[in-house]
Amino acid sequence: MSSSLILNADAESADNTFDYGFVPAPRNSSDNPIEAEDLIMYKSRECQNGTFQFYALVNGFRNGHVVAEHVGNALVQRIFFNDDIGNLDTSDSDTARHVDKVITSAVKDAFIKTDSDYFNAKIDSVLAERLQQQLVANKEMTYDSFEQLSETEHKIAGGAVAILAMIINKRLYIANCGNSVAFLTKIGKDPDELHAFQASELHESHEIKEIDRLQRAGVDPMNIDGPSRCFGDYFRKTGFHENPSIKTALAEPVCVEPAVAGGLEVDENYCFLLLLSPSLGQAILKIETDRKVSEYIIQLFVNHIREEGSLKGAAQAVLESIHQELQVKIEQGHLRPLETSLSLVVVPLNDDIVELLRESEKSIHAQSHGDNTVDSYVDFSEYFVDTPEMQDKRNDIEAKIASIKQLYKENKKLRPISED
């Protein structure tokens, strides 16, 4: 199976529509790449209350090409062609919150049903075949029976992660299952500033939210190898009891429930959204240590737009630049050879994106969170005011913190937390 890109788009990469980039994984000695396909999708249609645009990036891992293709096709059918989603009126501010809940629920349901359908349609028959092979192998393990069993287990081990963005009548929604990343950009109060922040929830075992979920499932997060949420991946889901590192879990450690953000009203201040494959984010971390991933890749993207004056081809140029830097470090012996493909999707959020980025040199300000969350650092000056009233409040807060720490310590759940 070749490590190729499957593109499912209603239009070619073009200004103000979408752009994408893809660098395939290197081929091994048998002329077969190590990883499976990436799927990039762009769909657009007119609905009852406006335009529905759908962007998705699906990445297979551990022989996950079958999973990835199933997920891509199923999500398009369950979400993009779902009139219950497309025909919702997202422009009415009075009902916006209710609409957001409906869309969030529908998207989560689509992810869960897509995963369930995959196991029913693609895995059940393979498991039946595997059972017969195990019975034969138990009687007499030959080289052929060992090879057949290994090949079958390779089929059911595959998984895939997916991140998608939907714009329904100028309202943006982002859904993520796995360790792909979305970065959103917005022009600041100073027009020469471009603010960037992560707009997706990362599903890896070192994230605080995932640590809590995994511990409640009776799993040591350190034993989770790979994304903590994904599609497929039999040996970390239904077949977890066969996995030595997580077989004592109380429930399936890896789930498919996505994190859905939105809706966000897209006004003229928003610029673009980037969807990064897991391998792309990891590649940037390997070559860039001084800046955040978001700051690094957005600066590359903006530089290309300013130089070329066009969105088309920008994503590919960014990926090739990153790939070249990786190759230099690999040749110098600082990194192991690249084993995965790199993929990037650009979602333009402004019709004048090129002019907006070219009119002045933008300074990139990477933030930890979006507009709906509290910044990493806040003003504590009022907390330290020297008055009897504030002293009482400080004492009360410190007592509560000490109580919470003691509670977690007694339950042996207190773990060190490092700042991002």
CATH at residue 205: 3.60.40.10
291 and 406 both lie in a single domain: no
146 and 17 both lie in a single domain: yes
78 and 207 both lie in a single domain: yes
325-340 tens-digit pLDDT: 999 998 888 888 878 8
Core vs surface per residue 58-95: b (16+ CB within 10 A) or e: bbbbbbbbbbbbbbbbbbbebbbebeebbebebeeeee
> Rounded CA gap, 273 and 252, in Å?
33
Q: Does 307 reside within a domain?
A: yes
| pTM for the full predicted model | 0.84
> Prior bond to 263 cis, omega within 30?
yes
Is residue 109 over pLDDT 80?
Answer: yes
158-203 tens-digit pLDDT: 999 999 999 998 999 999 999 999 999 999 888 889 999 999 999 9
402 and 320 both lie in a single domain: no
Is residue 132 over pLDDT 50?
Answer: yes
Give 301's contacts (C-beta < 8 A, 6+ positions apart): 272, 274, 314, 315, 318, 346
Q: Does 417 reside within a domain?
A: no
Q: Which helix (H) or strand (E) holds 118?
A: helix 96-118
325 and 406 both lie in a single domain: no
pLDDT band of residue 271 (cuts 50, 70, 90) is: very high
298 and 333 both lie in a single domain: yes
> Rounded CA gap, 29 and 27, in Å?
7
Pick from 86, 69, 53: which is nearest to 2 by CA?
69
88-97, 378-387, 406-415: range with lowest mean pLDDT: 378-387
Task: Please calculate the CA angle 303-262-47 and round it to the nearest 5 degrees.
Answer: 95
Cβ contact 172:349 at 8 Å? yes
283 and 388 both lie in a single domain: no
297 and 399 both lie in a single domain: no
Q: Which domain holds residue 156?
A: 5-367
321 and 385 both lie in a single domain: no
351 and 400 both lie in a single domain: no
186 and 99 both lie in a single domain: yes
Q: Does 418 reside within a domain?
A: no
Is residue 414 over pLDDT 60?
Answer: no
33-37, 303-307, 366-370, 374-378: range with lowest mean pLDDT: 374-378
237-265 tens-digit pLDDT: 999 999 999 999 999 999 999 999 989 99
Is residue 206 over pLDDT 90?
Answer: yes
Q: Does 375 reside within a domain?
A: no
Mean pLDDT over all residues of the chain? 85
Q: Does 376 reside within a domain?
A: no
- 369 by DSSP, 3-state: which? coil
pLDDT band of residue 156 (cuts 50, 70, 90) is: very high
Is residue 210 over pLDDT 90?
Answer: yes
Cα–Cα separations (whole angstroms), residue 369 to 201, 255, 281, 377? 10, 24, 17, 11
Mean pLDDT of the 3-32 span: 73
Q: Does 401 reside within a domain?
A: yes
The structural domain count of the chain equals 2
Q: Does 267 reside within a domain?
A: yes
Q: Does 415 reside within a domain?
A: no
131 and 20 both lie in a single domain: yes
> Rounded CA gap, 201 and 310, in Å?
30
Q: Highest mean pLDDT: which of 17-31, 239-253, 404-418?
A: 239-253
